[in-house]
Structure 1
């Protein structure tokens, strides 16, 4: 349940993005979402009697009035939070021509939400986040995150497990979830069900492996095979095990260290991309 509230300024900022003239949702799309969320659609003031025509409110002000009426009528933001999640459900933007609109709305919405301690994930889920105090911090957390992950070519499996925590600036959970993702990846490839060192030792057993990415015929191939196993084990010893057994308040990590760890985990995933399950009789 979301406990943090939106104020009048936040609602206005959200409407400015959602109903942006060129890159936001159309009036038809907004009306459909309002109906789905059971938010009353208020009159936009548009009228025509055959002789005169009144333009009425623009999309942004009309949407704000719909939201304000909902809050004033029911003293609740629940339906507006549902509206935000529905508006940013990725299923609505699967075509290539809609990707720019999605990216614009997601970033714009998060710029407004981070200032009140909320954020929308790439899955379209509204979450509570560490509240940003300044616009510079908002830009750093949104734009810098995307740029840093892009520059480091972070593997998509790492992003899948940690991006939500990273957005919240919860680096502890970000690296923990990403490290656990390595074990899950090995289980998916091998069909094994164990965890940690026991999993890696069995998966990469030199004489009876469950996983392979080379022929294990030359000394170099054997060394590379063993090296990947030891890399996976090292990540668990350095990251996963300490985090699992250390109280969160005592395990300090900053953004730079988090990115270094995520880069290492990403490197391991890129090796796992080349791995296959050994056929077993």
Structure 2
């Protein structure tokens, strides 16, 4: 038996659910779950809140409230993994205070109760560590975690790009930045002796791969760091989906850099 949720948790869940569903979908969801609507409330949040509150008072437990939430987080309802994970993270952030977490299959499990905002958000962050089937590289998270927890995706993107630059510096020993740093690390020169390499550079194909990765890194800085550095935040609408894209690209670069070595030429 699930203990009753307090009004704060019910209100928080109602806010999220009202953002997930239209008025018509709320009506259909209540009907499907066998939950009667309350005469109180006309906006979506109040409709959800009072219906769940009255059902919980009737049951004297939170079983049907949790069951209703689980219906909405049934993976079968979603065509997009990203949409599912976004809703699951938001709901889990609020359920963390109740010691409940919904897993990726849409099932609940008991966890230690969160006591702080950062702890609750940190729990939901772990849910987002896999995007588009690619595990986010462990070296990236320390750079962007603080901004990510605050939903500050604009500055999180900047910090993600810094993780790549810093890894290049650590690998090479250079202190330059951006395109100059990439050239310092990977430029072949006339003698074809770069500072860093990840293959033997013995064939045209390997040289092409080497040059392509250098250009890929330059493009990464040009696309994601430079615009963020020069454009005022107020003029941008940087969303989680954009940060997810940067995470995927940065992970590809970090994975390649893990297998990069100093050639000893410089």
TM-score when normalising by structure 2: 0.53
Asked if 1:252 is matched to 2:232, the reply is no
Shift of 1:196: 0.6
Q: Paired residue for 2:116, among 113, 116, 122?
A: 113
Distance 1:280 1:225 in 2: 16
Q: Paired residue for 2:152, among 170, 177, 184?
A: 170
1:106-133 residue CA offsets vs partner (Å, 9 max, x unmatched): xx33xx433xxxx25xxxxxxxxxxxxx
Q: Paired residue for 2:138, among 152, 156, 176?
A: 156
Distance 1:251 1:156 in 2: 28
Distance 1:219 1:251 in 2: 42
Alignment correspondent of 2:249? 264
Distance 2:255 2:212 in 1: 14
Alignment correspondent of 2:213? 228
Is the 8 Å Cα contact of residues 197 and 261 (structure 2) preserved in structure 1?
Answer: yes
Distance 2:152 2:134 in 1: 19
Distance 1:181 1:208 in 2: 25
Shift of 1:219: 1.7
Is the 8 Å Cα contact of residues 194 and 265 (structure 2) preserved in structure 1?
Answer: no
Q: Paired residue for 1:146, among 123, 126, 138?
A: 126
Corresponding pairs, count: 154
Q: Which runs of 4+ in 1 moved over 3 A?
A: none
Shift of 1:142: 3.8
Alignment correspondent of 2:197? 212
After TM superposition, list the pairs within 5 Å mapping 1:1-281 onto structure 2. Answer: 108-109=113-114, 112-114=115-117, 119-120=118-119, 142-143=123-124, 145-150=125-130, 151-206=133-188, 207-280=192-265
Distance 1:208 1:243 in 2: 33
Distance 1:160 1:220 in 2: 35
Alignment correspondent of 1:94? none
1:204-242 residue CA offsets vs partner (Å, 9 max, x unmatched): 111231101101111221111111111110110001111
TM-score when normalising by structure 1: 0.50
- Consecutive unaligned residues of structure 2, counting only runs of 5 or more, are 1-7, 9-110
Shift of 1:147: 2.4
Distance 2:128 2:208 in 1: 32
RMSD value, Cα: 2.5
Shift of 1:156: 0.6
Shift of 1:252: 1.9
1:144-176 residue CA offsets vs partner (Å, 9 max, x unmatched): x32231353000111121122111101111110
Is the 8 Å Cα contact of residues 157 and 243 (structure 2) preserved in structure 1?
Answer: yes
Alignment correspondent of 2:22? none
Shift of 1:267: 0.7
